[in-house]
Chain A
């Protein structure tokens, strides 16, 4: 930056460093937090360093990480999904109820589960993009529809899950847990192709400012729809993983994932107002959050403290994001339409 100091030099786009901070600040913050947490965790629980310990840690956090990634996709597109936890419950009940033992039936149920998740996401997307409903309100309503469907499929927890399916998803290959492979596959085969393509840039553009995206000729509605379908897919994979982990179906299993996925995304620097953030941040946020909850049980904190601590963490994260927004944004804009 040795150019002549013109009066305009301050108005231009922010420097690369600032852009990087804006993009990866949350992720970096989470990375540091994760490192500290891991140090504490391994100090308290040296056994966790074994391959079994690592895979159990990975298994405990994968579902939240996947749901947080799905939530991030919707958030990047300027929406929000309150029904994502109910989609997890729905797919979990569906899979655990119908899964047989033969390879064919397992494969069919997995395929059906993925389609079911995408369908549930698509319904959300249609209501919001084409029905012109507000994302929060309509997903609040579908939360009850999907939750009710899950409860209708499976009024009591139970069901049958094939052993092969369970070990296939929750086992480990040496020190490398299968959960990590699932996550890597989802990122490499789903997230990267989408977000390196035009669609990904469209999603971010729509999330940043849907009016100017429309004015620039972007297909705003299909893009919105796509974000919800993708998030439904991530929720379905998370639900399949949970099914393998718990080997049963439970209509209330996903309830905590809605708020926790939001917390994970916000913790990882994803803006609730849309258009800003990275999936790396959300993943790290998800790992940090589930590690904290895991650490609580390692430290011997009674289970009924969990809700309180989860809630306090959530409120702290939301408050921190709120304070940050107050500092950055113009207060007249805050009072305008773009509340989040």
Chain B
């Protein structure tokens, strides 16, 4: 969807500085600004209790954003996250109630995540439907599946204890959720920087045709990326059910825009091929802080949506404008 050709303009200095290495510094600057603002508005943001709460919520967004970062790095997007979360949360609670064994929730998470990822990769890689449309449609199907499965009644039995452990417990003074997030983050950053998989992701994102021509297994990269994304979302579904101590319909509804915002604030380009997970970490923290700040200012749900939409639009405007 390239626009018509226009004369090339040399970038001005400031813009050059801002966009040359997006993500490396800018996202941390944004985080610092948001944090300073939230402390200025409400000093309670400086207490360990509040910070701990924000860290847990940031972990939820951050783990989802692993998959989102990978999907955006290969030049696509994953919007099937909300109902993957809900389906996996409800299903793991249900199956656990029937077969109370410690591994059952994880088996459900893996089953849900892998199948969603495979369906996504199938449509986007093989049928070449645009990922935004395809994953939104898959999201709708998952919503339908969940509603049919639960008969549209929001009753879920008790949540598996492992979900509570993951979301609520502390380990050495730190919330388990954040530790899990940290471990995942290290793994993803290492994988992107050191493994062949990482090189494949960047290659597919910058120029898929060139990647295919130079022998990159593009199909496998798509499948791995979307399966990871599905797994992350399904895992977060389990964690959220523990966090809320129940699995309910619509528990993933607020996970459509924030992960994308976290990735984009983190400086990963929506056009793919540039960025990384390090920026997404600060992006997730910024998004959570911003949300908490807006809530503490009593800003309504509608206005919050507008603010997030405008912020995302601004960042997209700054980072991913088409060249020509």
Does B141 belong to the interface (CB within 8 Å)? yes
Q: CB-CB < 8 A to B1: which residues of A?
A: 78-79, 134-135, 210, 274, 337-338, 340
CB–CB B147/A251 < 8 A:
no
Q: CB-CB < 8 A to B260: which residues of A?
A: 140
Interface residues of B in 299-321 (CB under 8 A from A): 300-310, 312-313, 316-317, 320-321
- State which of B128, B147, B301 has its C-beta within 8 Å of the C-beta of A307: B147
Interface on B for A, CB 8 Å cutoff?
Answer: 1-5, 123, 126-130, 132-134, 136-145, 147-148, 151-152, 208-209, 212, 257, 260, 270-271, 300-310, 312-313, 316-317, 320-322, 324
Q: CB-CB < 8 A to A251: which residues of B?
A: 302
Q: Closest residue of chain A to B301, judged by CB?
A: A151
- State which of A135, A262, A311 has its C-beta within 8 Å of the C-beta of B138: A311
Of B123, B133, B310, the most chain A CB neighbours within 10 A belong to B133
Known contacts A134-B270, A144-B312, A311-B142, then 15 further A-B pairs from the complex at CB < 8 Å, ordered by chain A residue: A134-B1, A134-B271, A136-B132, A140-B260, A145-B313, A148-B301, A151-B300, A152-B300, A213-B4, A258-B136, A303-B152, A305-B147, A311-B144, A322-B126, A337-B2
CB–CB A315/B123 < 8 A:
yes
Task: Report the separation of the CA atoms of residues A149 and B306 in the bound assembly, to the nearest whole angstrom.
Answer: 7
CB–CB A152/B317 < 8 A:
no
CB–CB B132/A82 < 8 A:
yes
Task: Report the separation of the CA atoms of residues A321 and B128 in the bound assembly, to the nearest whole angstrom.
Answer: 10
Interface residues of A in 310-339 (CB under 8 A from B): 310-312, 314-315, 318-319, 321-323, 325-326, 332, 334-339
CB–CB B147/A308 < 8 A:
yes
- State which of A78, A134, A148, A326 has its C-beta within 8 Å of the C-beta of B127: A326
Does A133 belong to the interface (CB within 8 Å)? yes
B74 to chain A, nearest CB (A): 12
B10 to chain A, nearest CB (A): 16
Task: Report the separation of the CA atoms of residues A153 and B302 in the bound assembly, to the nearest whole angstrom.
Answer: 8
Does A161 belong to the interface (CB within 8 Å)? no
Task: Report the separation of the CA atoms of residues A339 and B77 in the bound assembly, to the nearest whole angstrom.
Answer: 13
Q: CB-CB < 8 A to B126: which residues of A?
A: 322
- 29 A-B interface contacts by CB (under 8 A): A82-B132, A132-B324, A134-B271, A137-B132, A138-B313, A138-B316, A141-B309, A141-B313, A148-B301, A148-B305, A151-B300, A155-B302, A211-B2, A215-B4, A220-B4, A259-B133, A307-B144, A307-B147, A308-B141, A308-B145, A308-B147, A315-B134, A315-B137, A318-B127, A318-B129, A318-B137, A319-B123, A325-B128, A337-B1
CB–CB A335/B309 < 8 A:
no
Q: CB-CB < 8 A to A337: which residues of B?
A: 1-2
A126 to chain B, nearest CB (A): 12
Q: CB-CB < 8 A to A314: which residues of B?
A: 137, 140
The answer to whether A210 and B3 touch (CB under 8 A), given A137-B316, A308-B141, A311-B143, is yes
Task: Report the separation of the CA atoms of residues A322 and B209 in the bound assembly, to the nearest whole angstrom.
Answer: 18
Q: CB-CB < 8 A to A315: which residues of B?
A: 123, 134, 137-138, 141
A42 to chain B, nearest CB (A): 27
Q: CB-CB < 8 A to B304: which residues of A?
A: 148
CB–CB B144/A310 < 8 A:
yes
CB–CB A262/B305 < 8 A:
no
Of B3, B132, B320, the most chain A CB neighbours within 10 A belong to B3
CB–CB B309/A308 < 8 A:
no
Does A169 belong to the interface (CB within 8 Å)? no
Task: Report the separation of the CA atoms of residues A164 and B221 in the bound assembly, to the nearest whole angstrom.
Answer: 59
CB–CB B322/A133 < 8 A:
yes
A290 to chain B, nearest CB (A): 16
Does A142 belong to the interface (CB within 8 Å)? yes
Does A309 belong to the interface (CB within 8 Å)? yes
Q: CB-CB < 8 A to A297: which residues of B?
A: none
Q: Which 6 A-B pairs have the closest CB atoms?
A: A308-B144, A214-B4, A151-B302, A322-B127, A148-B305, A144-B309
Q: Closest residue of chain B to A147, judged by CB?
A: B305
CB–CB A210/B2 < 8 A:
yes
Task: Report the separation of the CA atoms of residues A326 and B151 in the bound assembly, to the nearest whole angstrom.
Answer: 38
The answer to whether A152 and B306 touch (CB under 8 A), given A213-B4, A340-B130, is yes
Task: Report the separation of the CA atoms of residues A149 and B132 in the bound assembly, to the nearest whole angstrom.
Answer: 23
Q: Closest residue of chain A to B144, judged by CB?
A: A308
CB–CB B4/A335 < 8 A:
no
CB–CB A144/B306 < 8 A:
yes
Q: CB-CB < 8 A to B5: which residues of A?
A: 211, 214-215
CB–CB A132/B137 < 8 A:
no
A261 to chain B, nearest CB (A): 11
Q: CB-CB < 8 A to B316: which residues of A?
A: 133, 137-138, 141
Does A272 belong to the interface (CB within 8 Å)? yes
Task: Report the separation of the CA atoms of residues A233 and B320 in the bound assembly, to the nearest whole angstrom.
Answer: 28
Task: Report the separation of the CA atoms of residues A9 and B277 in the bound assembly, to the nearest whole angstrom.
Answer: 56
CB–CB A339/B128 < 8 A:
yes
Q: CB-CB < 8 A to A336: which residues of B?
A: 209
Q: CB-CB < 8 A to B148: which residues of A?
A: 304-305, 308
Interface residues of A in 138-170 (CB under 8 A from B): 138, 140-145, 147-153, 155
Q: Closest residue of chain B to A332, judged by CB?
A: B209
A177 to chain B, nearest CB (A): 29
A25 to chain B, nearest CB (A): 19
Interface string of A176-215 (1 = CB under 8 A from B): 0000000000000000000000000000000000110111
